[in-house]
Amino acid sequence: MSLTATLRQVRQQQRLSQLELSLRLGVSQRHVSYVENGRALPSRPLLMRWLRELHAPLPLRNVALMQAGYAPAFGQEPLDHPELAAARHALSRLLAAHDPQPALLLDAQWNVRQLNQGARWLMRTLGVPEQAIDTLNLLDAMLAPQGLSSAIANLAEVGPQVLVQLRHDAAAQPELADRVEAYARLLQAQGIRESPVGAPQQIAPVLATRLVTPLGELAFFSIVSSFGSPQSVTLASLRIEHLFAADAHTQAVLQAHVPNSA
């Protein structure tokens, strides 16, 4: 993909007109048009502001900079790099402090990078082999026959919401696209619409995922943590999914079966 195609695509995803973008950047609409048509090349500082105004993910900002012939701005060190030691420590503390409630550290590809005791217990309870837990890809696990999706009792409610998140992620990570569409087909095969028809009489404050397990149905809602203003592609790609018991039964099961390591 070229710089012009990248900038047009990201602007359109943000539903911004060229005029709106030009006002934010303090340049003429004609200049925005010239850049998007390849008739002008923005300076590096302008391109950085351009990408920031479009809320482009950090990996895509690096790509756009290189497409323009500039050096990338954001590092992509592995998570075990010494410079990320403080960030790793913070992530480990967040995970451990959430026990016995499950919490998982995911990267942009939906790979599980780290789990707390509660999440490890939950994966085992859902039938994930112990030896596979530390290298688990959550999207692959949802797509697998008799995988995690089959354990979701209210997939008709949860599935469309997951698909929205997956499609958002695939916009920044195109390599996810094939598996995202495979997930859409999984929902379609079960007669689940991407957009529910009609509206319920009452909408719950948060959507709980109800899981069928040997210990009965367990219900969780989630909160997502991510780094504020990350300046590293690696850190920008990470998020922690904190699961919270949505009812008394789930809370009692967690207290009885998960060692609290906080």
Domain boundaries, the chain: 3-67, 82-257
pTM of the complete model beyond 0.85? no
Q: How far apart are CA 34 and CA 162, in angstroms?
A: 38
Residue-level pLDDT at 57: 87
Residue 119 makes CB contacts below 8 A (sequence gap 6+) with: 102, 103, 104, 243
Residue-level pLDDT at 193: 85
Q: How far apart are CA 34 and CA 2, in angstroms?
A: 14
CA neighbor of 79 nearest in space, from 227, 196, 256:
227
Half-sphere exposure of 68 (CA within 13 A, CB side): 27
C-alpha of 262 from chain center: 26
Amino acid at 182: A
CA neighbor of 126 nearest in space, from 91, 102, 162, 157:
102
User: CA dihedral defined by 184, 190, 194, 198, rounded to 10 degrees?
Assistant: 180
Residue 148 has which token pair? 């995690």
Residue-level pLDDT at 177: 93
Which ranges of 146-244 would DSSP assign to H, the alpha helix? 155-172, 177-189, 233-236
Q: In what order do the strands lie in the sheet with 216-225?
A: 112-115, 103-106, 239-245, 216-225, 209-213
Cα 198 to Cα 21, 193, 195, 208, 244: the distances in Å are 35, 12, 9, 20, 29
Chunked into runs of 10 residues, the chain (262 residues) has average pLDDT values of 92 94 96 96 96 91 94 90 94 96 96 96 96 95 94 95 91 88 96 66 73 97 91 92 97 91 44
Q: How far apart are CA 124 and CA 128, in angstroms?
A: 5
Q: How far apart are CA 14 and CA 87, in angstroms?
A: 30
Q: Is 179 left (phi over 0), alpha (psi -120 to 50) or beta?
A: alpha
Residue-level pLDDT at 127: 95
Q: How far apart are CA 31 and CA 195, in angstroms?
A: 39
CATH of domain 82-257: 3.30.450
Residue-level pLDDT at 94: 96
CATH superfamily of 3-67: lambda repressor-like DNA-binding domains (1.10.260.40)
Residue-level pLDDT at 261: 45
Q: How far apart are CA 13 and CA 57, in angstroms?
A: 12
Residue-level pLDDT at 201: 46
Half-sphere exposure of 115 (CA within 13 A, CB side): 24
